[in-house]
Amino acid sequence: MARILIKNGTLVGATGAAASDVLVEGETVAAVLAPGAADALGVSADRVIDATGKYVIPGGIDVHTHMELPFGGTFASDTFETGTIAAAWGGVTTIVDMAVQRYGENVHEGLAEWHRKADGNCAIDYGFHQIIGGVDEEALKAMTYLVDHEGVTSFKLFMAYPGVFYSDDGQILRAMQTAADNGAVVMMHAENGIAIDVLVAQALARGETDPKYHSLTRPSILEGEATSRAIVLSKVAGNVPLYIVHMSASEALDAVAEARHEGANVFAETCPQYLYMTLEDHLARPGFEGAKFVCSPPIRSRLDHRHHHRDLWKGLRMNELAIVSTDHCPFCMKDQKELGIGNFAKIPNGIGGVEHRMDLIYQGVVTGELPLTRWVETCCTTPARMFGMYPRKGVVAPGSDADIVVYDPKGTTRIGVGASHHMNMDHSAWEGTVIDGHVDVVLSRGSVVIEGGAFVGRKGHGRFVRRGLSQYLV
């Protein structure tokens, strides 16, 4: 078994940072050693990685991606191969992607299709959540089967997208009751899709067709309302674990904070686009450029009566928001986003970002929004615990998978097509962004996959992770 010694770095975990050496043996971490202990003990290694002046952190875990998602009349443009290679470039060693079942489709077939897409194609490890887009008797039974037999222990439901993935309150309650029985986490896209569709139709009738109207027809109070309703339903279902995905709005954060304060099993994530982008600076760019930033929930206005960015960063500090994911759902401008020229409602919803989350959230450490340990906690450790992968993933400790990133805090990362950009997209939503910090070396289960500014891994290295139940529940 190959032995790699990562020497002289600062090991950063969710609970602290300390000068440490890390010994990797084969696919797992063999030991975490005090500086100098490896020499004193005569530890030999096939390879030494010098991490002097650098952070050594657990590999990033992005628990919300959509590779090859059929959506908006097209497919998300990253395959499992291109998307997981891009993820590795960005210091991500595990993704949890969303397998799809739509109304009238069979859940088992949906999951099998996702296995077919991913199997043999991934450069890093991967798991699946299951989207339930059609709650019926068969789907409810399948949920329990997936928890018990397939290592799929979380299910995404939608209060948005009527006619596509939407579930009504009765369907949501039934799925939540099923999850309360089998221990699964219910993940919720919380926006009032029925009301939004009315606003969209009215805007189009007025001739308001530009990308910015995507945000103006999805007001933040409709995200707050749906979040509150989802929380109420989760209580009715018996305090079932509820995880609000891709939170963008202060009103939604208020609802989650209140529920958490009451002791409810309510959790939430946000994504970098909601921490940095605005309607005015991004969606409202001249011409059709704003289409690059069309995602749901939408990018919010910096002129709103609520300060969404500030509140979301605070939520991350206060653990009202547990996790940062990306909701990576890439579409090219050409032939994909362009479907919505003249009608914002036809722009495929989604932003690609799996490659940039670790850097973008590290930027929050640089600017004083987050402590260093919270960066690791929200991007690596909590994702593993929330979705039943800890301590195999999310921590650098003896016995854990050797998913490790050597991160250079003095480095610089330039994002953009032609710079750091490996996602299968013809543009970057983060074009021109410059970050203090750089992913130097990435190990996935003990194999070096990124080093020296090159991808040195291989497709097929990544394995399916069968997940257990959430480890946040008593």
Whichever of 340 and 457 has its CB closer to Zn ion, that residue is: 340
> CB 15 → ligand URP: shortest distance, Å?
31
Q: How many residues bind Zn ion (CB under 5 A)?
A: 2
Whichever of 12 and 299 has its CB closer to ligand URP, that residue is: 299
Residue with tokens 């770095």: 9
Please choose which of Zn ion, ligand URP, none residue 282 contacts, taking the beta carbon within 5 to 8 angstroms, the exact cut-off set by kind.
none
Among residues 278, 467, 309, which one has the least CA distance to residue 388? 467
What's the token pair of residue 33? Answer: 């050693």
Q: Is 327 one of the binding residues for ligand URP (CB under 6 A)?
A: yes
What's the token pair of residue 408? Answer: 């250079």
* Residues 313-342, interacting with Zn ion (CB under 5 A): 327
Q: Is 357 one of the binding residues for Zn ion (CB under 5 A)?
A: no
User: Residue from 22, 240, 259, 295 that binds ligand URP (CB under 6 A)?
Assistant: 295
Q: Is 218 one of the binding residues for Zn ion (CB under 5 A)?
A: no
User: Residue from 91, 350, 353, 388 that binds ligand URP (CB under 6 A)?
Assistant: 350
Provide CB contacts within 8 A for 419, sequence distance 6+: none
In degrees, to the nearest 5, what angle opens at C-alpha 258 toward C-alphas 256 and 264?
A: 75
Among residues 246, 391, 254, 237, which one has the least CA distance to residue 327? 246
CA distance 467 to 46: 32
x/- map, 412-441, ligand URP, by CB under 6 A: ------------------------------
Among residues 57, 59, 61, 60, which one has the least CA distance to residue 12? 57
Whichever of 329 and 465 has its CB closer to ligand URP, that residue is: 329
Whichever of 189 and 421 has its CB closer to ligand URP, that residue is: 189
Provide CB contacts within 8 A for 300, sequence distance 6+: 215, 220, 248, 249, 274, 278, 279, 308
User: Residue from 7, 129, 189, 445 that binds Zn ion (CB under 5 A)?
Assistant: 189
> CB 347 → ligand URP: shortest distance, Å?
10
Please choose which of Zn ion, ligand URP, none residue 337 contacts, taking the beta carbon within 5 to 8 angstroms, the exact cut-off set by kind.
none
x/- map, 234-273, Zn ion, by CB under 5 A: ----------------------------------------
Number of H helices, E strands in the chain: 14, 19
Residue 1: count of CB within 10 angstroms of its CB: 10
Helical residues (DSSP H) of 9-79, grouped into ranges: 37-40
User: Residue from 129, 189, 392, 421 that binds ligand URP (CB under 6 A)?
Assistant: 189
Distance of CA 204 to the CA centre of its chain: 32
Task: Tell me whether the omega of the peptide bond preceding residue 70 falls within 30 degrees of 0, making it cis.
Answer: no
**β-strand partners of 188:** 157, 244
> CB 299 → ligand URP: shortest distance, Å?
10
Residue 339, phi then psi, degrees to nearest 5: -60, -20
> CB 232 → Zn ion: shortest distance, Å?
20
In this structure, the strands spanning 454-455 and 447-451 are: antiparallel
Residue 16: count of CB within 10 angstroms of its CB: 10
User: Residue from 22, 57, 61, 66 that binds ligand URP (CB under 6 A)?
Assistant: 66
Whichever of 32 and 187 has its CB closer to ligand URP, that residue is: 187
Q: Is 329 one of the binding residues for ligand URP (CB under 6 A)?
A: yes
Please choose which of ligand URP, Zn ion, none residue 295 contacts, taking the beta carbon within 5 to 8 angstroms, the exact cut-off set by kind.
ligand URP
* Residues 19-48, interacting with ligand URP (CB under 6 A): none
Residue with tokens 């949920």: 143
Whichever of 164 and 397 has its CB closer to ligand URP, that residue is: 164
Radius of gyration of the chain (CA): 21
Q: How many residues bind ligand URP (CB under 6 A)?
A: 9
Where on the chain is the footprint of Zn ion (CB under 5 A)? 189, 327
Where on the chain is the footprint of ligand URP (CB under 6 A)? 66, 189, 246, 295-296, 327, 329, 349-350
